[in-house]
A and B are shown apart, each in its own frame.
Chain A
Amino acid sequence: MNLLQACLLVSSALFCIGLVTALSRSNTILVLLGIEIMLNAANLNFIAFWRFSPAGTAPATGVIFVLFSIAVAAAEAAVWLALVIALYRHQQNIRLQEATRLKG
């Protein structure tokens, strides 16, 4: 088992943890936390494939992807935090199962 495979295993594990968190928790913040973990699993994959690609084929591509991804995730965090606060004001809790009144 080489280092790339080890990295991929770690990221798979992270992804599964994130997925389970997102599906099983009812607290909105924790659901979003799970989503963030899945996102970071994908970021780890980017870095791993970039690091172990043959020399010269992908100059800094993976790093740039990840930087963008982190930046977008940060912006997104600001949005979901605001959403969560709005949700709390609306229904006095942040249980995701109860936030069903926006359906079309």
Chain B
Amino acid sequence: MNLSASSLWLIPALPLLAAAIGALTPRGGRSLASGAAIIAMVGALGLSVAALGTALAQPAVHLTDNFTWFSIGTDAVRLGWLLDPLTAFMAVMVSFVGLLIFIFSLGYMKEDANFTRFFCFLSLFAAAMLGVLVANSLLLVFVCWELVGLASYLLIGFWFHKPSAAAAAKKAFITTRIGDLGLLLGMLWLYHVRGTLLFYDGGNGVLEPSSLALLSHGKIAGGIALSTAIGLLIFCGAIGKSGQFPLHVWLPDAMEGPTPVSALIHAATMVAAGVFLIARVYPLMLADQHLANVSVHALTVVAGIGAITALLGAAIAVGQNDIKRVLAFSTVSQLGYMMLALGVGSWVAAIFHLLTHAFFKALLFLGAGSVIHAAHHEQDMRRLGGLGKRMKVTFATFAVGMMALAGVPFLFSGFWSKEGILHAAHAWPVSQLPLVAGLIAVVLTAFYMTRLVAEVFLGSPRSDAASHAHENSPVMTVPLVILAIGAVLLGLIGTPAWPWLQSNLGGVVVPAESIFEGPGLMVLSIVLVCLGLGVGWALYGWRKRRDAFAPDPLAAAMPGVFAALAAKLGFDEFYALTFGRLNQLLAVVADGLDRWVWGGIVSGVAWMGEALGTFDREMDESGLNSGFDAASEKLRGVGNAYSRAQTGEAHGYLRTLAVAFVVLALLLLLGGVL
């Protein structure tokens, strides 16, 4: 199967069509809307697999198909489609995971009145996300990027009658918008410098050598290369979308949306778009690496942000009690890992982790959704417990996902992709701090996942909802099983013994074991994973929680630390106190200005207009009117005189004509004209 770059647009077009069908379907047409969405995803998956076939035939080549969108004067804004292994792998992952989540949603959203709207939004999201992947222009990426944000907003606020959901949707939208402003500025700057936004255009694209040389030679103030500045502005967009520190605050709140949404958008695909974007513009991020006399390298910032986020997210996840919030902070942390990998120079390791993470995190979220659905929307893990016996399939698949996320050695995909990142961080010549952050996060990840599984699935039920829970229907469990199989097997395509993914992704053949520098680091990380699992088991598995109100064992051991982590280290409060307050202050100032200064000027002008009007009217009535009246009387008299000449007698008129003719003839004769 093959798919050329020129027909790549079909991949996002199919879900878009399904979204249109869903939008036009009345509320009752549940099977039409969901059927269209699922068929479109199957089509998109088929086309993505075909695209993957094309891309793998020549992995080092960027196949493009560019066209002109519109022209202004001599400038033309051009867009295009791009097919390379990065696009193809991502498209296959998004459409495959998306398809499974669509199917899961059939069961999860069964009782919702707005089932058709849900599938319409899901399809819109899938279309936008696939659009980001196949775009060959930063502008087209940006357009789809914003559409993805819109779909995310609509889906987080899907249950908008809940005030918390409406607030979370708003928060997600505004927070990511801050990052997107940076992306927009970077894009405009790039267009200003290069006059095009195409990635690859036969030598003229922004990611091709001539352009990169130009960008890395330009300097702005402070010894920063032009490419660094533009790259960091683009990275701002990735920070917002991928929930990186300091804009990570929206991602946990986004869990107010339905759980399939959390799985698809806020774990597997959309939040990975930032990682994808940086991988896409990687040549640009890399352009300043050879420069010695610059004050900062773009990738160093990326690595730093990634390391902070990985550590922070993992730490906060330890202190959460809501299943979905634990998973949300885990997502933040894993995205931090991916950014870290990008920063230390291994975008291939980042994409590998992105792919494996998409599978096991979608699995974990859908597993959490299965639990929540069975336990009548009880999400607090203190009030769950003992579900392992009642929901065997969910428990087994969730355990697979948990072990993949924790990085349990050898069998699970998460282990191999995480090892790739740790090895890349170890090989980074600049600093070993990211490696240290990553290793600490490994312990924390194993710890909080053990805590989550022990609290939810082991012990005894601690509420009515949990004790009456029972396994869900196959429409929800089969996607779990498929994702669990993926979470195990996907690791096989990127092990050091057979680096097939690494070789094909970059188009450069990676020899076996070249990404593996000996057993030292691997043994260390295995020990750390075992440490995290062991401590977690000791605290939560050994003596199981008895009732919902018992204090957390960790809180008993370290009350101050646990309270800080449970409060998410106070980021929300900090932002509320600084940016929120600042915003309120600005609003008060703006209100005052509006009310008194601008309002005063407007009122003054209005008053002056009124005064002039009054003056005019007085002048008119006293002076001008009588003059016009007199003139009108005169005109009427003249008109009357003329109307008397009109007798209505044709002979009279003829006579006048004849006399006039005679007079004219006499004048001409006597005047000597003739």
Contacts and interface: CB of A to CB of B under 8 A. Distances in A.
B655 A23 contact: yes
Contacts of B646: 103-104
A22 B653 CA distance: 11
A96 B648 contact: no
Contacts of A104: 643, 646
A31 B654 CA distance: 10
A100 B643 contact: no
B647 A103 contact: yes
Interface in A46-93: none
Interface in B640-656: 643, 646-651, 654-655
B655 A100 contact: no
Contacts of B648: 99-103
A97 interface: yes
B589 interface: no
B658 A23 contact: yes
Interface string A14-38: 0000010011001000010000000
Main secondary structure of the interface of B (DSSP, over half): helix
B643 to A, nearest CB: 7
A22 B647 contact: no
Interface residues of B, number: 10
A19 B651 CA distance: 11
Interface residues of A, number: 13
B646 to A, nearest CB: 6
Contacts of B655: 23
A22 B654 contact: yes
A23 B657 CA distance: 10
A104 B647 CA distance: 9
- Most interface-central of B647, B650, B658 (chain A CB within 10 A): B650
A103 B646 CA distance: 7
Interface in B260-278: none
A19 B649 contact: no
Contacts of A101: 648
Interface of A: 19, 22-23, 26, 31, 96-97, 99-104
Interface of B: 643, 646-651, 654-655, 658
Given A23-B655, A100-B648, A103-B647, 12 more contacts: A23-B651, A23-B654, A96-B649, A96-B650, A97-B651, A99-B648, A100-B647, A101-B648, A102-B648, A103-B646, A103-B648, A104-B646
18 contacts: A19-B658, A22-B654, A26-B651, A31-B651, A96-B649, A96-B650, A97-B649, A97-B651, A99-B648, A99-B650, A100-B647, A100-B648, A101-B648, A102-B648, A103-B646, A103-B647, A103-B648, A104-B643
